[in-house]
Structures are given as C-alpha cells and as structure tokens.
Amino acid sequence: MAKFLNTSATNYFLEELIKDAKDRLILISPFLKLNDRMKELLADKNRLKIDVRIVYGKSELQPEEINWLKELHYIRTSFCKNLHAKCYLNEELCIITSLNLYEFSQINNNEMGVLLRRSDDAELYKDAYEEAQRIIRISDEVRISLERVSNDEEIKSKPKEPSGKITSSKLAQKLGMKTSELLEKLTESGDLEDREGKHYLTVKGKERGGEFHMGAKFGAYFLWPESFNLLP
C-alpha cells in the first residue's frame, strides 16, 4: 500500500532508496544541484557500478562539481525540456514527491510525497517506472560538461569506425532523425531489443551488419553499415 511522506520522511526514504539500489537508480528532478550528502551517495553507487540515470531540466552545478561528476562513468545525465516531475526509483521503491533533488537533506522546507513499493503496489510501480522510462526516452543524454551526445556514443574517446561502419548517431543524422528515434525504430524492426531501458543487439541486428562495442571510457555503443536501411 502506498505510504504518505512528510518532509523528514521524504528525505529519509529517498536516502534509503538510493543506498538500497542494487541494479538501477533513476533520479528525475527539474533542478540538478548536488549537496555533499548526495555526492557521497552517488559516488558510492558509481564504485558499485550501479546504473544511474539522472534526468534534469536545469543545471546549477559549479565547475568543480561538473569535473567531479564527469569522473563517475556509471552515472548518465539527460536533459529534458519543460521537466517538472520529481520522481525517484530503484528496482523496488518509487518516490513521487514535491522534493527537488537539490533540496534533499533540507528539512526547513515543507514537502510531501508518496512512497510506492513494488512488492505491495506492483501496478502503480509499473506505471511510474514506465513513465520514468518515457521521460528518459524523450530526453537528450548529455555529458555533464553540457556537450550533447547520443545514448551510445563516446565524446572524448570516440569509437573507432571500421571502413563502411558508422555509429548510431551518425546513422541517425544520415536518416534525418534523432538518435533516440533511431534506437526506437531499430527496436521496432527487431534489430535491437529493449530490456528495462537498455538496448541489446539481436541476432537479426547482427545478421544485418550491426556490431556491439564496449568503449573503455564511456561504455557501450553500436556500429552499423553506412548503407544500413530501416525495415518498413
């Protein structure tokens, strides 16, 4: 059963939600500004190689915070225009609240929230998780240096492109669409498979020339033949 949270309870359960994340952590907040406690919690998740997605609408990070966050390779940030939702999820808990991420650990504000447990409210949790995934899909992933990148392409250490192969972002540009739109089309055509927000190359995708690569600095990306055509 959903649980009502006041200000102190929201802060408490949000910290527990972050600490207890074993597989994934999604933080959706209009303002991106991190206090010391939040940085400590995120650094620990990065050490444990937990997949962390932060979606924000406005960044108020200082230069030293930007440099700090750039070193956390398991934390990905996405910009979402007109974002007003505040929602925090791990694989078992979800908090929907008035609390912005930068206000975490501040108890002088008057906040309210609702805690959902996947074990108790499976349908509600599923609805919240799917909406969080939709927000991630319509967001543009950015390195926290504010340089816009694709979901699967490295920035400073760009993936090597064998002759005749191009990255997903370049293929998207060639086809006149966003990378997120291309990934969605590739999922619909069966070349990729979406498992809880992560894309995997299918047998069909491999047969059509797709390749999966893991970069040393920024993780996974795909390569496709330059002549690759989307199936109708």
16-37 pLDDT, tens digit per residue, is: 999 999 999 999 999 888 888 9
Confidence category of residue 142, pLDDT binned at 50, 70, 90: low
Q: pLDDT tens across 50-92, in order?
A: 999 999 988 777 777 777 888 888 999 888 988 999 999 999 9
In a domain, 98, yes or no: yes
Q: Which residues form the domain of 19?
A: 3-142
How many Cβ atoms from other residues are within 10 Å of residue 8's Cβ?
Answer: 10
User: Per-residue pLDDT for 180 more than 80?
Assistant: yes
Cβ-in-10-Å burial (0-12, 13-18, 19+) of 39 comes to middle
pLDDT at 101: 87
- Pairing outcome for strands 113-117 and 93-97: antiparallel
The residue out of 90, 111, 142 marking a domain boundary is: 142
Tokens of 77: 């940030």
H or E element at residue 179: helix 179-188
Question: Residue 129's pLDDT band (boundaries 50, 70, 90)?
Answer: very high
When pLDDT is cut at 50, 70 and 90, the band that residue 146 belongs to is: very low
Residue 159 has pLDDT above 80, yes or no: no
Contact assessment for residue 222 and residue 212, using Cβ atoms and an 8 Å cutoff: yes
**Percent over 70 (pLDDT), the chain:** 87
Kindly state the tokens that stand for 223.
């390569």
41 with 77, same domain: the answer is yes
pLDDT at res. 59: 79
Is 74 a domain residue?
A: yes
Residue 165 has pLDDT above 70, yes or no: yes
Instruction: Report the domain count for the chain.
Output: 2
Q: Token match 């250490």: residue?
A: 157
**What pLDDT does 224 receive?**
92
Average pLDDT score over the chain = 85
Q: How confident is the model at residue 156 (pLDDT cuts 50, 70, 90)?
A: very low
135 and 182 part of one domain = no
Separation between Cα atoms, residue 58 and residue 169, nearest integer Å: 24
Amino acid at 49: K
**Do 128 and 69 share a domain, yes or no?**
yes
pLDDT computed for residue 147 by the predictor: 46
- Chain center to CA of 149: 13
| Lowest mean per-residue pLDDT among 35-44, 81-90, 161-170 | 161-170
> What pLDDT shows up at residue 231?
74
In sequence order, the 6+-apart residues with CB closer than 8 A to the CB of 67 are: none
Residue at 221 is within a domain: yes
Q: How far apart are CA 183 and CA 189, in angstroms?
A: 10
Tell whether 98 and 175 lie within a shared domain: no
Buried-state track 124-141, b at ≥16 Cβ within 10 A, e below 16 = bbeebbeebbebbeebbb
**Burial (Cβ within 10 Å: 0-12, 13-18, ≥19) of residue 82:** exposed
| CATH number for the domain harbouring residue 107 | 3.30.870.10
Residue type, 189: S
Region 130-145 average pLDDT: 81
pTM of the model: 0.62
Any idea which residue has 């390779």 for tokens? Answer: 73
- In the predicted model, is pLDDT for residue 190 greater than 80? yes
